[in-house]
C-alpha cells in the first residue's frame, strides 16, 4: 500500500509537472527546477516523494530510530524552507495491541514526532497531531512485513495550505 | 430516563401459578419495574389459570425445594451436562400461529446457546399435548429422558395485544415449576420469548437469566485500509439489528448506560476524536466535554451519573471522570504513562484500568476517587481492557503474549487467573447481565475482519454471535426489564 500511495503521488506529480511546464514556458523559468523524479520543489508531492512523509517505529515503542531521525531532519529542513504549509502528524499503531491502548500509543508517537520537529525549529503553531491507533493500517497481513509499515507517524500537509 | 420513548413500557406480566394474587411467587420482581398495569385487566383468563394453579398447588409449593435437589443445573462447574428439556411448540390462536412458533424457536435457541440445556428433538416426543392447561403425562417424558418440559400458548386478543403464557414442568418431580402470563404489544413479541427464556433459566439454575438484553457494537464494512464503522445495536441473540450512526465518521468502543437508553462511545468528528453520549431511542447526541487532546475509552459509572474516560495530555494519557449533570471534571490519575480502559466495580467504589506506568500494560485497581493504585496482573505478557463482572467477583481482560491474544478472567485481587480462549486476535471482553457469559471480538487479521463470539466464564461453549457484517467492540446491556 505504501507503494500504491507513492505511485499515486508520482502520477499526481506528473500532472503537476505538466502544468508547471506550461507556466514555466510563459515565465521562461529554468526547466531544471523540476527534480529528477518530476515533483515540483515545494509541492506536496515533493515532500512525499523526495523527503519522505513517514517514519516507522519498533514494536510497542515510541522511540525514534536513527533512520526516523534522518527522515525527520529532512522533513524539518523542507518544512522550514516551505513555511507556508500547515500540517497534521498522524500517529498509527499496528494491530498487535488493544484498541484503546493503541489510540494512546498512536498519540504518543505523533507527539514524539511533533516534539522532534519543534526541536529542529519548525513552529509548533503549524502542527496538529491526531492518533488513529490501529484503525488505519496501510498494509494488511499477519506478519512483520505489514506490521512494520503500520507502526508509523505520517506528516500530512494540509491540502488548503 | 425518558419513559415516553421506552418502547417496552407496554409490557406486563402475571404469575399464573400464584395461589392468590401472584405476588409472593414472582420469580423476578425486577421484571415488573416498568409494568404500568399488571394483573386486574384480564380477570377471565386469570381465573382460568388459577383453577389449574389450584390443581397443582401442592406440587408447586414444594417444587422449589425439590428443584434444588432433583432438577437443577449447577452452573459453577466446568463440565456441565446440559439438561435435557422438551420445548413444545407454543399453541397459537388464530392469527398468532406464526408468532407462537417463532417464540418457541427463540426460547429453544436461547436455552441451547447458553450451553446449559439440551432441547430434545420434537420427533422423539411420545405425548402430544394439545393444551397448555393440561398436566403432562410425566411417564411419557421420563421415557425420553426429558427432565423439564415447557408448554405455552400465544393469543392475539381483541384489543390487538399479544398474550403469551407458559408453564415449566419438573418431569422428575412431576410438578409445575413456573407459570407466567405476559401481555404486550405485538411488536414486542421477541422480548416476550427472551423473558420466558429468562424465567426458565432462573427456575432451573437459581440465577437470573440474561436473554432479555441487547448488545451495542461496531459494524464494519469496506476494505481494511478504509473500514467504514457504524454503531449498531441488536438483541443479545443477534436479531433486530439497528444502526445508530451512518458511517461517515469513525466510531469506536460503545458502552451502555445502566438505564440501557444511552451509550457512550468515541468518534472522529471535527478535530480531535472525542467521547460522545447518544440516546439510542431518540438519536440525540452530545459531546462529553471539550478538551485540547483526544478523549477516549469512555464508560459509565454504575449509577449512570458519570462517565469515566482517558484524556490525552501530550505523550501521556490519564484517567478522568465527568459528572454528567454538573459537567465537573475530576482527575483520577496523573502519571507520565498511558492509563486507559477504566471500568468501575459494580458498587462504584473502585476502578480497574490498565497502565504502562511500570513499563508494560498491566491491570491496576484504585479507589473510585483516585489515589494509589495496586497492580493485580502478574502473569506473562501484557494485560489490557479490564472489565468488572456485574456481581463483582471477576475482572475479565485481554492478555497479549507472544503475538497471541487471550481472553481471561481473574479475581479483583489478581488471584485465580484463568484463560478462556486464545489466538489472534481476541479482544474486548464484555459480561452478560448475570456474568456467566463473556462476549468479545476476534479478528483473524490480514484481509479478513472481526466477528463477535460468546464464551462461558468456565471456558466452555464458544459460539459465534450472528451479525450481518464484520463486527467489533461489543458491549452487553444490563437486563432490559
Same domain, B271 and B395: yes
Residue A52 pLDDT exceeds 70: yes
Confidence bin at A39 (pLDDT 50/70/90) = confident
Return the minimum-mean-pLDDT range out of A22-31, A106-115, B92-101, B393-402. A22-31
Which member of A1, A137, A142 has the closest CB to residue B424? A142
Same domain, B242 and B128: no
Instruction: Determine, yes or no, domain membership for B1.
Output: no
Number of folded domains in chain B? 2
Asked if the Cβ–Cβ distance from A101 to B427 is below 8 Å, we say: no
Same domain, B221 and B182: no
CB contact A100 to B (< 8 Å)? yes
pLDDT of residue B131: 86
Instruction: Determine, yes or no, domain membership for B481.
Output: no
Instruction: Determine, yes or no, domain membership for B2.
Output: no
Confidence bin at A125 (pLDDT 50/70/90) = very high
Other beta carbons less than 10 A from residue B359's beta carbon? 7
CB contact A104 to B (< 8 Å)? yes
Which among B138, B171, B205 is the end of a domain? B205
Instruction: Determine, yes or no, domain membership for B414.
Output: yes
Which member of B250, B317, B340 has the closest CB to residue A135? B250
pLDDT of residue B445: 84
B-interface mutation test, from A88, A100, A112, A142, most B Cβ less than 10 A away: A100
Asked if the Cβ–Cβ distance from A98 to B427 is below 8 Å, we say: yes
Which among B174, B205, B236 is the end of a domain? B205
Of A26 and B175, which is predicted with more confidence?
Answer: B175
Same domain, B332 and B225: yes
Which member of A107, A111, A137 has the closest CB to residue B224? A137
Which among B163, B188, B205 is the end of a domain? B205
Same domain, B114 and B74: yes
Asked if the Cβ–Cβ distance from B296 to A135 is below 8 Å, we say: no
Q: Which residue of A has its CA nearest to B315?
A: A108
- Residues of chain A neighbouring B424 (CB-CB closer than 8 A): 142
Tell me the pTM: 0.85
Same domain, B441 and B327: yes
Q: Has the ipTM of the complex gone over 0.90?
A: no
Asked if the Cβ–Cβ distance from A130 to B314 is below 8 Å, we say: no
Asked if the Cβ–Cβ distance from B384 to A98 is below 8 Å, we say: yes
Same domain, B308 and B174: no
> Grid coordinates in use for A126?
503549524
pLDDT of residue B141: 96
Same domain, B266 and B411: yes
Mean pLDDT, chain A, as a whole number?
83
Span A78-88, mean pLDDT? 96
pLDDT of residue A33: 57
The full 3-state SS of chain B, as one line of letters, equals CCHHHCCCCCCEEEECCCCCCCCCCCCCHHHHCCCCCCCCCCHHHHHHHHHHHHHCHHHHHHHHHHHHHCCCCCCCCCCCCCEEEEECCCEECCCCHHHHHHHHHHHHHHHHHCCCEEECCHHHCCCCCCCCCCCCCHHHHHHCCCCEEEEEEEEECCCCCEEEEEEEEECCCCEEEEEEEEEECHHHHHHHHHHHHHHHHHHHHCCCCCCCCEEEEEEEECCHHHCEEEEEEEECCCCCCEECCCCCCCEEEEEECCCCCEEEEEECCCCCCEEEEEECCCCCEEECCCCCCCEEEEEECCCCCEEEEEEEECCEEEEEEEECCCCCEEECCCCCCEEEEEEECCCCCEEEEEECCCCCCEEEEEECCEEEEEECCCCCCEEEEEEECCCCCCEEEEEEECCEEEEEEECCCCCCCEEEEEECCEEEEEECCCCCEEEEEECCCCCCCCEEEEEECCCCCCEEECCCCEEEEEEECCCCC
pLDDT of residue B3: 36
Q: Which residue of B has its CA nearest to A147?
A: B446
pLDDT of residue A159: 76
- Residues of chain A neighbouring B250 (CB-CB closer than 8 A): 132, 135
**CA atoms of B10 and B186, how far apart (whole Å):** 10
Window 241-280 of B: residues touching A by CB (8 A cutoff) are 250, 252-253, 266, 272-273
pLDDT of residue B244: 97
B-interface mutation test, from A58, A97, A103, most B Cβ less than 10 A away: A103
CB contact A124 to B (< 8 Å)? no
- Residues of chain B neighbouring A62 (CB-CB closer than 8 A): 315
Same domain, B408 and B442: yes
Asked if the Cβ–Cβ distance from A107 to B317 is below 8 Å, we say: yes
Instruction: Determine, yes or no, domain membership for B73.
Output: yes
Find how far residue B50's CA is from the centre of its chain: 33
Span A127-146, mean pLDDT? 94
Window 20-79 of B: residues touching A by CB (8 A cutoff) are none
A-interface mutation test, from B358, B385, B427, B445, most A Cβ less than 10 A away: B445
pLDDT of residue B33: 28
Which member of A104, A115, A141 has the closest CB to residue B446? A141
CB contact B317 to A (< 8 Å)? yes
Same domain, B195 and B275: no
pLDDT per residue as tens, chain B (481 positions): 333 333 333 455 555 443 222 222 233 322 322 233 333 222 222 222 222 322 222 222 223 333 333 566 666 665 678 999 999 999 999 889 999 999 999 999 999 999 999 999 999 999 988 888 889 999 999 999 999 999 999 999 989 899 999 999 999 999 999 999 999 998 999 999 999 999 999 999 999 999 999 999 999 999 988 999 999 999 999 999 999 999 999 999 999 999 889 999 999 988 789 999 999 999 999 999 888 899 999 999 999 999 999 999 999 999 999 999 999 999 999 999 999 999 999 999 999 999 999 999 999 999 999 999 999 999 999 999 999 999 999 999 999 998 899 999 999 999 999 999 998 889 999 999 999 999 999 999 888 999 999 999 999 999 999 999 999 999 999 999 8
Same domain, B389 and B278: yes
- Residues of chain A neighbouring B443 (CB-CB closer than 8 A): 95
pLDDT of residue B25: 24
CATH code of the domain containing B244: 2.120.10.30
Widest pairwise Cα distance in chain A: 56
Same domain, B121 and B40: yes
CATH code of the domain containing B123: 3.40.50.10070
Domain span at residue B12 reads 7-205
Amino acid at each position: 500500500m505504501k507503494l500504491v500511495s507513492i505511485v499515486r503521488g508520482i502520477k499526481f506529480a506528473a500532472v503537476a509537472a505538466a502544468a508547471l511546464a506550461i507556466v514555466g514556458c510563459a515565465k521562461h523559468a529554468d526547466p531544471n527546477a523540476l527534480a529528477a523524479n518530476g515533483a515540483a520543489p515545494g509541492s506536496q508531492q515533493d515532500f512525499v516523494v523526495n523527503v519522505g512523509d513517514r517514519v516507522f517505529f519498533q514494536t510497542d515503542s515510541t522511540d525514534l530510530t536513527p533512520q526516523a531521525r534522518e527522515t525527520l531532519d529532512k522533513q524539518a529542513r523542507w518544512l522550514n524552507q516551505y513555511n507556508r504549509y500547515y500540517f497534521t502528524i498522524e500517529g498509527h499503531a499496528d494491530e498487535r495491541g488493544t484498541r484503546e491502548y493503541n489510540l494512546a500509543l498512536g498519540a504518543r508517537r505523533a507527539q514524539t514526532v511533533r516534539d522532534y520537529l519543534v526541536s529542529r525549529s519548525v513552529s509548533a503553531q503549524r502542527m496538529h497531531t491526531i492518533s488513529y491507533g490501529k484503525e488505519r493500517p496501510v498494509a494488511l497481513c499477519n506478519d512483520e512485513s505489514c506490521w512494520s509499515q503500520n507502526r508509523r507517524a505520517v506528516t500530512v500537509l494540509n491540502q488548503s495550505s | 430516563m425518558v419513559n415516553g420513548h421506552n418502547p417496552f413500557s407496554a409490557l406486563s406480566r402475571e404469575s399464573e401459578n400464584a395461589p392468590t394474587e401472584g405476588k409472593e411467587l414472582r420469580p423476578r420482581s425486577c421484571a415488573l419495574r416498568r409494568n404500568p398495569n399488571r394483573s386486574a385487566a384480564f380477570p377471565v383468563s386469570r381465573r382460568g389459570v388459577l383453577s389449574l394453579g389450584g390443581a397443582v398447588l401442592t406440587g408447586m409449593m414444594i417444587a422449589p425445594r425439590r428443584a434444588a435437589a432433583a432438577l437443577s443445573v449447577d452452573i459453577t462447574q466446568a463440565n456441565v451436562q446440559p439438561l435435557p428439556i422438551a420445548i413444545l411448540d407454543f399453541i397459537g390462536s388464530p392469527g398468532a400461529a406464526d408468532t407462537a412458533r417463532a417464540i418457541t424457536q427463540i426460547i429453544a435457541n436461547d436455552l441451547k446457546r447458553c450451553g446449559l440445556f439440551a432441547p430434545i428433538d420434537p420427533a422423539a416426543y411420545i405425548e402430544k399435548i394439545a393444551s397448555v392447561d393440561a398436566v403432562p403425562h410425566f411417564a411419557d417424558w421420563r421415557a425420553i429422558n426429558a427432565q423439564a418440559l415447557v408448554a405455552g400458548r400465544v393469543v392475539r386478543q381483541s384489543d390487538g395485544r399479544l398474550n403469551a403464557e407458559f408453564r415449566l414442568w419438573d418431569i422428575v418431580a412431576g410438578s409445575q415449576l413456573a407459570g407466567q402470563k405476559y401481555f404486550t404489544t405485538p411488536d414486542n413479541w421477541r422480548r416476550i420469548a427472551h423473558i420466558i427464556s429468562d424465567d426458565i433459566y432462573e427456575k432451573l439454575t437459581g440465577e437470573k437469566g440474561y436473554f432479555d438484553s441487547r448488545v451495542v457494537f461496531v459494524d464494519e464494512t469496506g476494505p481494511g485500509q478504509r473500514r467504514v464503522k457504524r454503531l449498531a445495536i441488536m438483541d443479545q441473540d443477534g436479531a433486530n439489528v439497528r444502526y445508530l450512526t451512518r458511517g461517515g465518521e469513525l466510531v469506536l468502543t460503545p458502552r451502555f448506560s445502566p438505564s440501557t437508553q444511552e451509550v457512550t462511545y468515541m468518534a472522529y468528528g471535527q478535530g480531535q476524536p472525542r467521547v460522545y453520549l447518544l440516546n439510542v431511542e431518540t438519536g440525540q447526541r452530545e459531546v462529553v466535554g471539550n478538551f485540547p487532546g483526544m478523549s477516549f475509552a469512555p464508560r459509565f459509572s454504575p449509577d449512570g451519573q458519570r462517565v469515566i474516560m482517558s484524556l490525552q495530555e501530550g505523550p501521556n494519557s490519564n484517567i478522568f471522570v465527568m459528572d454528567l449533570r454538573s459537567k465537573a471534571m475530576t482527575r483520577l490519575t496523573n502519571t507520565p504513562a498511558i492509563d486507559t480502559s477504566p471500568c468501575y466495580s459494580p458498587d462504584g467504589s473502585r476502578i480497574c484500568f490498565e497502565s504502562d506506568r511500570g513499563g508494560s500494560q498491566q491491570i491496576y485497581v484504585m479507589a473510585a476517587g483516585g489515589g494509589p493504585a495496586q497492580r493485580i496482573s502478574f502473569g506473562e505478557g501484557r494485560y489490557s481492557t479490564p472489565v468488572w463482572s456485574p456481581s463483582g467477583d471477576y475482572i475479565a481482560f485481554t492478555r497479549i503474549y507472544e503475538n497471541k491474544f487471550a481472553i481471561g478472567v481473574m479475581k479483583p485481587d489478581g488471584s485465580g487467573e484463568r484463560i478462556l480462549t486464545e489466538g489472534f486476535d481476541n479482544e474486548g471482553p464484555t459480561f452478560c447481565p448475570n456474568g456467566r457469559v463473556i462476549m468479545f471480538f476476534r479478528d483473524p487479521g490480514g484481509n479478513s475482519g472481526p466477528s463477535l463470539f460468546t464464551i462461558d466464564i468456565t471456558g466452555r461453549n464458544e459460539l459465534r454471535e450472528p451479525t450481518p457484517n464484520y463486527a467489533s467492540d461489543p458491549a452487553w446491556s444490563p437486563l432490559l426489564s
